[in-house]
Structure 1
Amino acid sequence: MPSTALPSRFSLYLDLIRWNRPAGWLLLLWPTLSALWMAADGFPGWHLLIVFTAGTVLMRSAGCCINDVADKDFDLHVKRTAQRPVTSGVVSVREALGVGTALALLSFGLVLTTNPPTIWLSVPAVLVAGLYPYAKRVIAMPQAVLGVAFSFGIPMAFSAVQGGQDWSLSAVGASVPPHAWWLVLGNLCWVLAYDTEYAMVDRDDDLKIGIKTSAITLGRHDVRAVMTFYVLYLGLWAWVGERLGLAWPYQLGIGVAAVQVVWHGWLIRTRSREGCFKAFRLNHWVGAAVFAGTVLAGWVR
């Protein structure tokens, strides 16, 4: 059989980590970089920019590997996920775990170039990311666990910029200011919004196989809840920006994000698979608007 008849292992691994679908890691990247700019009061330097950008991509890719292994039996019964590499059998569980471990170790290697508080914070970040795929078996709204996992880049960004070389655990708290945790709470609300949209796409399949999601838990209140989460996210981030004295482009970025949120509300109003998936898929532009506002605010003093 010609070698071209079968996809190369490398192309299968790229499919495993969703390389052709960057929206997933962009959802992590924009709030992390926004926090990095806030912590540094402007450009954070090339070292931290590379560390957090590459680390975000690597950890999201590692998370895809773990998630696909954990969900391989569930994904088989969901239209959208039935052909994922692990579920379809073209990539073995052992291979997927090997790829995920290698990517996570590369990401940890990047963290080691920062400082002790950031290294400490990376430990619970990895633990929560590893637990998320199993949360949907026991927690009514596992999207909240994902929200915690997707928000760890924010305190890590502040600790990388403002932390010192003290290895004590108390130094971790000292390196992350209170407003960073408000950003985390706001980002958690954003994740609840867009991942509920994502769960609305698969609600019928998820009900059949018996897993728990926020779309199922919220029921007929799902659209209203999604819009409430969006408002809380943008409200909290706008408030933090005001407290930090960020210039007007930041609030303009929040405004551009809010316009997109209104559009997303229109897309999901009928709960159609196509509308909900489109809203989820385009959410990274909401984060991009906030990040752009953060960067521009640093130029306008």
Structure 2
Amino acid sequence: MKQIKLFIELTRLKKPIGFMLLFWPCAWGLTLAYDFSSDLNNYFFYLILFFLGSVLMRSAGCIVNDILDKEFDAKVFRTKNRPIASGKVSIRLGMFYALVLCLLAFLVLINFNLFTIILALGSMPLAFTYPLMKRFTYWPQLFLGITFNYGLILGWSAIKGQIDVIPIIFYIGAIFWTLGYDTIYGYQDIKDDEIIGLKSTSIKFKGTAKKFLFTCYSILTILFIAGGYYMNFHYSYFVLLIIPIFHLFFYQVKNFNLKSPSSCLIAFKSNNLFGLIILMNILIVKNL
């Protein structure tokens, strides 16, 4: 029982925001590409596969992250009690768990077409090298965005069997979404990170945080509008887009307090709602 609790803690399964932020772009890409005049069984089947893949890969990613960051986590108040940093779980056992999770994720992956499988396997180096980036660059959040939103491309290719300009537009927009929300997340640990020498956009833009977030979310807005235009979406898409955009600018950017870790966490978690609203928007216009 103790090992199960440690495994759940290690993989953050009690904190679903992580795998949901990985899942939403997958669902967006899938929904953008799907023909809803055909059988819906495939849509829900792929949606379940992407959800399972998101949970498994995020869990494996957390373990690899904790192994690579073991020494740093031990020096940060919020992370010092994580299973690997505290020594409750060995690195060898952690690696075993990560390999099992990756194997299960591969069993999920082989249900897709060959092109999607190859694309997904090509993203693996990104997924497992991201934690190293904060040692070398102030832009680890950019690498996270490239990795976390890759599922949007996979969702599209799972249906179309190819890459088009449309998912790339949405993908780039989603990268700026992650760049914004993970910068907010980073303000929880900014004092400890500065002391131990880690880098992040939270540190780089700490004097102009809200301007940086405004810029990120403005680019996201422009690209999501452009994506809707190229998809020839009904005007209702652009009207409904006001809701999630309002959320980003007037809830997150305006209200979060970078000096309050609890405020940052609340703003960060609210992106789960943003992901759901965007999905519902696409579903509505695709079924008009």
Answer whether TM exceeds 0.5 for this pair: yes
- Residue 287 of structure 2 aligns with an amino acid whose one-letter code is W
- Per-residue deviation, residues 93-147 of structure 1 (Å, max 9, x unmatched): 1111111111111111111111111111112211100100111111221111111
2:166 — aligned with what?
Answer: 179
- Per-residue deviation, residues 1-56 of structure 1 (Å, max 9, x unmatched): xxxxxx52112101111111101111111121011010114455233122111111
* Alpha-carbon RMSD: 1.5
- Per-residue deviation, residues 205-236 of structure 1 (Å, max 9, x unmatched): 10001011111122312221012111211221
Contact 2:174 2:220 in 1 (8 A): yes
Contact 2:176 2:219 in 1 (8 A): yes
Which SS does the other structure have where 1:50 is aligned? Answer: helix
1:220 — aligned with what?
Answer: 207
- Whole-angstrom distance in 1 between the partners of 2:31 and 2:101: 26
Indicate whether 1:208 and 2:195 are aligned.
yes
Larger mean Cα displacement after TM superposition, 87-96 or 247-256: 247-256
| Structure 1 unaligned residues grouped into runs of 5+ | 1-6, 164-174
**In the TM superposition, what is the alpha-carbon distance from 1:156 to its structure 2 partner?**
1.0
Indicate whether 1:190 and 2:177 are aligned.
yes
- Whole-angstrom distance in 2 between the partners of 1:187 and 1:282: 15
- Per-residue deviation, residues 233-287 of structure 1 (Å, max 9, x unmatched): 1221122012212234533442211121111112225542222221112211111
Which SS does the other structure have where 1:82 is aligned? Answer: coil
Contact 2:28 2:155 in 1 (8 A): no
2:28 — aligned with what?
Answer: 34
Which SS does the other structure have where 2:23 is aligned? Answer: helix
Which of residues 10, 16, 23 in structure 2 aligns to 1:22?
A: 16
- Residue 115 of structure 1 aligns with an amino acid whose one-letter code is N
- Whole-angstrom distance in 1 between the partners of 2:144 and 2:262: 23
Contact 1:16 1:85 in 2 (8 A): yes
2:108 — aligned with what?
Answer: 110
Pairs aligned (count)? 283
Structure-2-length-normalised TM-score: 0.93
- Per-residue deviation, residues 129-187 of structure 1 (Å, max 9, x unmatched): 01001111112211111111101101111111111xxxxxxxxxxx0101111111101
Which SS does the other structure have where 1:212 is aligned? Answer: coil
1:265–1:119 Cα change, 3 Å: same
Which SS does the other structure have where 1:219 is aligned? Answer: coil
1:282 — aligned with what?
Answer: 270
Identity of aligned residues (%): 31
Structure-1-length-normalised TM-score: 0.90
Which of residues 263, 268, 282 in structure 2 aligns to 1:294?
A: 282
- Whole-angstrom distance in 2 between the partners of 1:132 and 1:217: 18
Contact 2:210 2:254 in 1 (8 A): no
2:141 — aligned with what?
Answer: 143
Contact 1:62 1:103 in 2 (8 A): yes
Larger mean Cα displacement after TM superposition, 211-220 or 34-43: 34-43
**In the TM superposition, what is the alpha-carbon distance from 1:296 to its structure 2 partner?**
1.6
- Residue 285 of structure 1 aligns with an amino acid whose one-letter code is L
- Whole-angstrom distance in 2 between the partners of 1:144 and 1:211: 15
- Residue 49 of structure 2 aligns with an amino acid whose one-letter code is V
Which SS does the other structure have where 2:81 is aligned? Answer: coil
- Whole-angstrom distance in 1 between the partners of 2:35 and 2:228: 12
Contact 1:267 1:278 in 2 (8 A): no
